[in-house]
Structure 1
Amino acid sequence: MPRLIAISNRVQTETEGETANRGGLAVALAAGLRASNGIWFGWSGEQTEEFTGQITFRRANGVATATIDLEAQDIEEYYNGFANRTLWPLFHYRLDLTEIARDFAGGYARVNHRFAETVGPLIEPDDLVWVHDYHLLPLGQQLRERGFRNRIGFFLHIPWPPPSLLISLPDHRELVESLLDYDVVGFQSEEWRQAFMDYVTAHLDADIDGEIVSFGNRRTRMLVCPIGLDTADFCSAAHSMAAKQSQTQLMVSAVGRDMIVGVDRLDYSKGLQERFIAYQQFLTNHPELCEKVSLLQIAPPSRGDVPSYQQIRAELNALSGSINGEFATIDWVPIRYVNHGYSREKLFGIYRAARVGLVTPLRDGMNLVAKEYVAAQDPADPGVLVLSRFAGAAAQLEGAVIVNPHSSEDMADGIARALAMPLAERQERHKAMFDCIVKQDVHWWSKTFMEALEKAGPKPAARLLPKAVNAD
């Protein structure tokens, strides 16, 4: 078995693993890294006064990690800047929030250069290299420039925008060409792959044959491979004391009422303002259900240094206060809005106690919360998933009530439909979705991608691209 070198922006270290839940990426990579004696490389999350390329090696639970620290300027320009203020909003179709700055682009190129320079000595000729997400789009090209002919794959965890939006990015052609230095590029859904193919067709002199894009002497497979949930591991939380306690606590507090739950990182892509307005519309449309339902919205804050995220938090505070002020009674609060996260075990109990799971992002690469909600349900009496048509998960979870998150009336109708759904229909829908998330779980995702990467042939001899990156 070839050794796996996994590369991502952040690496979950031993210390983090002791205090936090393992993310989906950590779960997916762990088995392959252990089996192949591989290495997970990335940024430590820590700041250093001057970048030296010094690597910190750790090993925990059989997984070796290698991390580097970045300078303050790197963090500001590469991470807070180009990654989260340029690419993230643009790739989520929010051109109005996209900030274009040369300093951001320069920092992004510089850090990708530093990643390539630092990880290069760790890569052996037969290693498989798997790069993850929008932070490191050009890393494959950087490695090719340094002569690496390894099989190198890339997986995009977020949407890929249509050409009409992508061309607003300076050097968009160079960014897309850099992806064609990978052997395999993975997308969460057919929609995102097709958007990439549309760009290649419109803006590059490339040939397309099914999944294969040929550009010069490069051949890249474009693979649809939706990431899954570690379903068996997540469902094991059903037997934990924390899960049972959180479920009981919610059911007692909501006695006589149906609980609706939303669990989302505080981010404008999640459509939280639109969700609150839709819930307000639902209460207005169905006064007979007031005091018979309640919405629990869990939204841990993120990227607090970015102004647009500060604005979201302020707007949600105002909306929740306004809705509660309009509809609340002395013994009923329509919305409970919580700004901190919960453990996997507690979330399982929260999901299981909720009659409706509300997952309504404006645009999302996948959305594993939707799959978590389905996995947590009691098959004998399952709740109903209300899911945005613009989440990648919608292509797999056809048993959900699919809604348009841009329409408060459509979402309000979806909530009402979910609450009124008879048991037999709930059971049928749940079974179809649960079967899907069991079959296409996170281990299926990792295996599918790795098999595609292993089948890729070696790259041609090393070449220098006409436009080298200036790392200074």
Structure 2
Amino acid sequence: MRLFVVSNRVAVSTGQSAPGGMTVGIEGALRAHGGVWVGWSGKASTDGSVSSRCVAHGNVDYVTLDLPPEKFQGYYAGFANQVLWPLCHGRRDLVAYSSGDFESYLHVNGLFADELVRRLGPDDLIWIHDYHLVPLARALRARGVGSRIGFFLHTPFADPDDLFDLPVHGAIAESLEAYDLLGFQTRGDLESFRTFISRSRASRRLGSVHLTSPPRADVFPIGIETAEFESTARAAQIVDTRLSAIFDRLGSGIAAIISADRLDYSKAIPEKFRAFGAFLELHPEYEERVCLVQVAPIGRSEIPAYALEAARTRSAYRDLRAAHQRAELPVAELLTESVDRPSLAAAFRRSRVGLVTPFRDGMNLVAKEYVAAQDADDPGVLVLSSFTGAAEELSGGALLVDPREALSVVRALRQALEMGIEERRARWSKMISVICRNDAAAWAGNFIESLRGRREAPHLRSTSIAPSRDAPRARLDFRAVRTAQSSWEVQAVSDRARHLVVGRAAPGDGARTAFVTNNAGVNEFLLRVRSAGYTTELLGPNGPVKL
């Protein structure tokens, strides 16, 4: 058995580690099992075709695909990041749906599926990551892949009401149901998923009904490589020249409040600047004693909402500095380029407060990295948005805030800056124990072991329930035969019934077993197929029966 990992980008194509809990956890799992990591190369194909290359390091192959630019644009900058991303982060006002983008989204997932089919063996496990690749399992099933396939969503799960407003909500539901196991960051995400699938199954048209129970789903909160990050923070110097200059000017008399986010409308960076300004206005005694350091690399600039957010961020930053001027070191610093991992770890360790206040986040690994970076004898304080996955794990030690309420952040900043050493140690101790226990290796190991576990039977996938126009009609289509007190064997009798459950017409008079189910399952199935125009009969030991 090999493990196949698929993500939008291959984080490791040269054998060198890259930042992030996902990378660390997956690399460890791949090395343990031997396997393949597949993803986009970051490049467009020059002739509009698809090309792939493979780099091997040890027992792991890194496969990257160059994708056709016109399809990639609709897939990535279109449906993935102007429909799914805003929905997953509660910004339905930013959704820009087009049927062309959705077609590109499906097309690119099909290209990933084609590449996988060429490389998969019958016993391989497949682990697919994030919102870019929701339809991939369904594309693989359509190509005959019967392997166990798992999916992990790194973002929050969207509000079911928002998903139902999409014209393609049924296709999204069917795509999710093609997996054997789905993993989510929090219990809330899991419940949102279950609500969406339950409502979808209840309202879905008969032309696209699933014959099986929903896939297994559970909570697998992602972690970081805690010990490695702590070691890096303890040993590293701030080598990034911009960040180093800031901390050199701080000296010992000014406390650093540090934030590190990708510049994204979900991160609430302008609101953070305004909340910090409110803190200084309400507590002027801190005017000369603190500095907010915000690292916010800019990305996805081709998407209008991101260009607007970058402008909002710069405006709020300028307003903050203009309102609170001081002679030497400004009250806030904004770095819009990426910072190397060791420098960031060292900066976390030197900062009195870690300020992590997104509107919504799947997990937010920066919060965990800030905790891991701290000196156990003199730890800083984590101020954390209640709307992050990390808040579910770190509530025992972090100061939780509502980023939409400036006064909530103001109160937490004052509490953090005035907190005594004993309370800081106690809070940090609670958090570090959690992130040591639930680290990246545990996250990956728990998911893979669950994926390798017994699949629920029957292993039937999505199939059209509308009668085929080409299949001949028959007097009897389905027969349900009672095999135990609450167990029924459903047989496909007619050619069109076989076409439905097997996927092709199978001439002949004999009945072919489609699946085995319980009383409730056979009731639901027969109700649906009768409504679609199929004929049925139920047989018990003594002849026809009624449920």
TM-score, with normalisation over the residues of structure 2? 0.80
Measure how far apart 1:62 and its partner are: 4.4
- Gap change, CA 1:387 and 1:83, over 3 Å in 2: same
1:68 corresponds to 2:65 = yes
State how far apart, in whole Å, the 1-side matches of 2:394 and 2:177 are: 31
- Determine helix, strand or coil for the equivalent of 2:196: helix
1:202 corresponds to 2:199 = yes
Which position in structure 2 is the counterpart of 1:211? none
Measure how far apart 1:457 and its partner are: 2.4
Which position in structure 1 is the counterpart of 2:314? 317
Which position in structure 2 is the counterpart of 1:414? 412
State how far apart, in whole Å, the 2-side matches of 1:72 and 1:443 are: 35
Q: Matches of residues 122-201 of structure 1 in structure 2 within 5 Å?
A: 122-201=119-198
Which position in structure 2 is the counterpart of 1:440? 438
Q: Give CA-to-partner distance per residue, 1:317-340, whole Å, 9 cap, x none.
A: 111111111111222411111111
- Determine helix, strand or coil for the equivalent of 2:103: helix
Q: Give CA-to-partner distance per residue, 1:138-184, whole Å, 9 cap, x none.
A: 11111112221111100000010121211122111220121111110
Measure how far apart 1:4 and its partner are: 0.3
Q: Which runs of 5+ in 2 are unaligned?
A: 204-208, 467-547
Is the Cα–Cα contact under 8 Å of residues 141 and 181 in structure 1 kept in the other structure?
Answer: yes
Measure how far apart 1:118 and its partner are: 1.9
State how far apart, in whole Å, the 2-side matches of 1:3 and 1:354 are: 43
- Gap change, CA 1:438 and 1:333, over 3 Å in 2: same
1:223 corresponds to 2:218 = yes
Q: Matches of residues 268-347 of structure 1 in structure 2 within 5 Å?
A: 268-347=265-344
Which position in structure 2 is the counterpart of 1:389? 386
State how far apart, in whole Å, the 2-side matches of 1:202 and 1:461 are: 22
- Determine helix, strand or coil for the equivalent of 2:145: coil
1:253 paired residue among 229, 232, 249? 249
- Determine helix, strand or coil for the equivalent of 2:237: helix
- Gap change, CA 1:61 and 1:383, over 3 Å in 2: farther
Which position in structure 2 is the counterpart of 1:100? 97
Is the Cα–Cα contact under 8 Å of residues 10 and 43 in structure 1 kept in the other structure?
Answer: yes
Measure how far apart 1:241 and its partner are: 4.3
Rg (Cα) greater in structure: 2
Q: Relative contact order: is structure 1 or structure 2 higher (C-alpha 8 Å, sep ≥ 6)?
A: 1
Q: Give CA-to-partner distance per residue, 1:76-96, whole Å, 9 cap, x none.
A: 100111111111011111011
State how far apart, in whole Å, the 1-side matches of 2:4 and 2:458 are: 21
Q: Which amino acid aligns with 2:24?
A: V
CA RMSD in angstroms, aligned pairs only: 2.2
Is the Cα–Cα contact under 8 Å of residues 90 and 158 in structure 2 kept in the other structure?
Answer: yes
Which position in structure 2 is the counterpart of 1:210? none
- Determine helix, strand or coil for the equivalent of 2:202: coil
- Gap change, CA 1:196 and 1:462, over 3 Å in 2: closer
TM-score, with normalisation over the residues of structure 1? 0.92
1:234 paired residue among 229, 253, 262? 229
State how far apart, in whole Å, the 2-side matches of 1:386 and 1:187 are: 24
Measure how far apart 1:218 and its partner are: 4.5
Higher alpha-carbon deviation: 100-109 or 326-335:
326-335
Q: Which amino acid aligns with 1:422?
A: G
- Gap change, CA 1:241 and 1:231, over 3 Å in 2: closer
- Gap change, CA 1:254 and 1:98, over 3 Å in 2: same
1:25 corresponds to 2:22 = yes
Q: Which amino acid aligns with 2:217?
A: M
Is the Cα–Cα contact under 8 Å of residues 388 and 403 in structure 1 kept in the other structure?
Answer: yes
Is the Cα–Cα contact under 8 Å of residues 24 and 225 in structure 2 kept in the other structure?
Answer: yes
Is the Cα–Cα contact under 8 Å of residues 294 and 332 in structure 2 kept in the other structure?
Answer: yes
1:45 corresponds to 2:42 = yes
Measure how far apart 1:240 and its partner are: 3.3
- Gap change, CA 1:368 and 1:362, over 3 Å in 2: same
Q: Which amino acid aligns with 1:221?
A: R
State how far apart, in whole Å, the 2-side matches of 1:463 and 1:430 are: 47
1:363 corresponds to 2:331 = no
- Gap change, CA 1:142 and 1:4, over 3 Å in 2: same
